[in-house]
Structure 1
Amino acid sequence: MTTARHPRAASGPLLPPDPARPRRLLAGWLEARQSAGFAEHSARYGALPVERYAGRNGRALLLSTVDASGLRGRGGAGFPTGRKLRAVARGRRPVVVANGCEGEPASGKDRALLTVAPHLVIDGAVLAATATDATEIILCVHRADPIAGSVAGALAERPSGEIPIRLVQAPGRYVASEESALVNFLETGDARPTAKPPRPFERGVRGRPTLVDNVETLAHLALIARYGSEWFRGCGTRDSPGTTLVTAGGGVARPGVYETAFGTPVAEVLDQAGGPAGTPQAILFGGYSGTWLPVPVAAGIRLSHEDLRAAGAALGVASLTVLPARACGLAETARLLRYLAGESARQCGPCMFGLPAIADDFTSLVLGGRAAALAGQRLRTRLSVIPGRGACAHPDGAVRLAASALRCFADDLRAHLAGRPCAWAAHPALPLPGWNNRSGDWT
């Protein structure tokens, strides 16, 4: 595979698409297994093209380039980045927040990117500030994450004259990386989600319009600004252009982070990870608050927003967690639900009472017998009344996970209700964090 060429200077022409090089964010850096310093980064990509996008006309060019690229956010929702930039740019003295707080246990993409290519992320944050005329940039990571030290080192390497970037370490909680929780932490020190509206792009840090973008989104922005929208659309699909970082985990031969073009069949993505280790039962899409799909359905799906939506799932944080043959899907879901219940912000009824009750019901399903039948009746009622009632989307994600498990593992469910629980129910298969912050510390 050929190496992508790069512009000689910031003001040079945009390069033509290179469809033979779909690996873009991690190309060259992951193989080196070390962080690219600023000198290596500059040699590979050339100078940051801030002069090209300076001033009112330059900002308009950058915004139109991002619009044409079709870049969508990589933090989970997949919102069009150009629309988000424009919404913030309409306000006065905006703030840019680069979100590197990876609270999803099934995902490692942001950590991998910040480890090997931190300067792509920083470039993207500077360009986002240029596009929105922001005067302040804040880069957030979890305080328990060892990546903070290397990110601080990368920031220290940056040339003088750039917009200053402040590194902030947020609590290592599951929902602390949600955009309103992050803004709330920056404002008050409390990393709990807040009710919306207003959204951060309307009123965020210090009451100013605030752009909260995932670090992968910003890294793509850094490349689009250099090589143009046509280059970015050189791979992927019409609605999901470009590449994305996918975390493959669970029952695969080589768990890890892989960059792949949108539109790639899920089976091929798993082949990058060495293929399933044994015969898999199902795949969990979008992390631990995502959607289970049986392997016959999941393997044939293309990795794209539109294909997953048609299958009743969502891309989320682009993670594929494979359930191995020797595992109980109901028991694994019960464990995940218990984890999600413990990670709630405990500020609304659906989280404080609904999620523990759902976790209890699922545990009863795993055990089987008469108690399981009663739990199943309660569970279906609870799953129907919780969505849309929480202070944030956390309870909705737990409901999505639980409901998809009932559909995906329907045969197992019938066996459990008949008093024949799975032989593997007592053998956990999916990883969960070794810590679980239930102390109530959100600062």
Structure 2
Amino acid sequence: MTTTSTGVSASSTRRLLGGVQSDAARHEAVHGPLPHLGLDELLRLVEASGLTGRGGAGFPTAIKVRAVASGARRPVVVGNAMEGEPLSHKDAVLLDRSPHLVLDGLQVLARALRAKRAVLAVGPEIDAGPVQAAARGRRGIEVAHLDGGFVAGQETALVNQLNGRSALPRDPFTRVTESGVDGRPTLVLNAETLAQVALIARHGADWFRSAGTADDSGTSLFTVSGAVGRPGVVEAARASRLRDVLEATEPRRPAAVLVGGYHGAWVPATHLDVRLTRSELAPWNAAVGAGVLYVLDDRTCPLRYAAEVADYLAGESAAQCGPCINGLPQMAADLHRLAACVRDQRLPVAVARMAGLVKGRGACAHPDGTARFVGSTLEVFRDHTAAHLQGWCPSTMRPTTRGM
């Protein structure tokens, strides 16, 4: 398998991260001119490529494009580079190294759809300078440097912010593809997805499918951090083995890998040969998502780490419903007590019960993602839970005498 990473030596196969190309002339010399494609031709290429969204949900890109193309009004195309997930840095790396590739994808879609507006939304943690400079020579492309937060990148929250309102998720039953920015049909695609569209427009569907598998084609960017010697953003073929993606970053004494970020799930280190596909990750309730991989070493307490994440997620909620206002803080508090080796046999049941109560009952998917992460922690680290209830932690091997 071939990878390219920040901090990792370059590979022979380069797509998204093929060297620094912030200069327009150098970008075109590497990738060639951007073709002018009609809607039918672009849709045919994207559909034939099998491209799925790289922002988290993995939804077929062609279906989203068709949804806005069928609207009665000229649509708005939005590139999502908000990157509110603390463990993800792929959008930042992509906009620093290949800003023109992202703008190409935005532009080719806007032209084909005859869009009223084309906006690239950039989160506060990302240096917008390179992409703002790259956009100056392009007519009709806006770069909006917006306020952030964990839920700010959710597409309805992003649309709200672009409409001048608070960056909070809205009614999920009103699709942005029907009514989004300025009340128009709105196509929201992740920055990496836009870059992939730009490559497909130039090189075709067969070229795109030359990486990955028939069911999961192309490459993806993965942010790898945690217990690794060389953290960075790795480009790898879809359906690669987890072990192979991690190899270039030099993992150190892994106990498990968090796949999918703070709303993801754990894969034990005993199963690093799993392929990063929906079907092979299903036994752990995990998904590739936005390509976030966090390596937990065997000297770090997983329950303490999970409690800190749950605490963060409780504080990052939209505070629009009971599951976020009451459920997530209670779940985090009980998880903290469990991590502290409080000998209360009711704690795992209380945490699991609260995770079940918040799931499917929120105004957005934030409670569901948090419950997934917490539930995965209890499932994968059962031995830690049992030891903590006896007053000691397997990661530190230091028994405690704490009671209830």
Partner of 1:237: 213
> What is the CA–CA distance in structure 2 between the aligned matches of 1:305 and 1:223, rounded to whole Å?
24
How far did 1:310 drift? 4.9
Pair 1:44-2:65 in alignment? no
Partner of 1:340: 313
Write the deviation string for residues 254-299 of structure 1: whole angstroms up to 9, x where unpaired: 00001000122111111121x212x2110000001110121112x0
C-alpha spacing 1:26/1:425, structure 2 compared with 1 (3 Å): farther
Instruction: Normalising by structure 1, report the TM-score.
Output: 0.85
Give secondary structure in 1 for the equivalent of 2:346.
helix
Q: Which runs of 5+ in 2 are unaligned?
A: 3-10, 399-404
Give secondary structure in 2 for the equivalent of 1:177.
coil
Give secondary structure in 2 for the equivalent of 1:147.
coil
Pair 1:137-2:118 in alignment? yes
Partner of 1:26: 17
Write the deviation string for residues 142-196 of structure 1: whole angstroms up to 9, x where unpaired: 1x335112221111133xxx4x111212212010010000001111321000011
Give secondary structure in 1 for the equivalent of 2:161.
helix
Partner of 1:302: 275
Q: What amino acid is aligned across from residue 230 of structure 2 in structure 1?
A: R
Partner of 2:401: none
Counterpart pick for 2:187 among 211, 223, 226? 211
> What is the CA–CA distance in structure 1 between the aligned matches of 2:31 and 2:243, rounded to whole Å?
32
Number of residue pairs the alignment of both structures matches: 389
Partner of 1:5: none
How far did 1:375 drift? 2.3
How far did 1:304 drift? 2.5
Partner of 1:170: 146
C-alpha spacing 1:48/1:393, structure 2 compared with 1 (3 Å): same
Pair 1:276-2:251 in alignment? yes
Answer whether contact 1:365 1:373 (CA < 8 A) is retained.
Answer: no
> What is the CA–CA distance in structure 1 between the aligned matches of 2:240 and 2:278, rounded to whole Å?
12
Give secondary structure in 1 for the equivalent of 2:57.
coil
> What is the CA–CA distance in structure 2 between the aligned matches of 1:111 and 1:202, rounded to whole Å?
29
Write the deviation string for residues 356-384 of structure 1: whole angstroms up to 9, x where unpaired: 101001001112233x3232222121111
How far did 1:423 drift? 5.4
How far did 1:42 drift? 1.2
Pair 1:221-2:197 in alignment? yes
> What is the CA–CA distance in structure 2 between the aligned matches of 1:132 and 1:352, rounded to whole Å?
40
C-alpha spacing 1:333/1:311, structure 2 compared with 1 (3 Å): closer
Report runs of 4+ in structure 1 exceeding 6 Å deviation.
Answer: none
Answer whether contact 1:22 1:235 (CA < 8 A) is retained.
Answer: no
Counterpart pick for 1:153 among 129, 133, 138? 133
Give secondary structure in 2 for the equivalent of 1:258.
strand
Pair 1:80-2:60 in alignment? yes
Partner of 1:441: none
How far did 1:114 drift? 0.3
Q: Which runs of 5+ in 1 are unaligned?
A: 3-19, 30-34, 427-443
CA RMSD after TM alignment: 1.9
Identity %, equivalent residues: 47
Answer whether contact 1:240 1:305 (CA < 8 A) is retained.
Answer: no
> What is the CA–CA distance in structure 1 between the aligned matches of 2:282 and 2:141, rounded to whole Å?
37
Q: What amino acid is aligned across from residue 276 of structure 1 in structure 2?
A: P
How far did 1:28 drift? 2.4
Give secondary structure in 2 for the equivalent of 1:188.
coil
With 413-422 and 392-401 compared, the bigger mean Cα shift is at 413-422
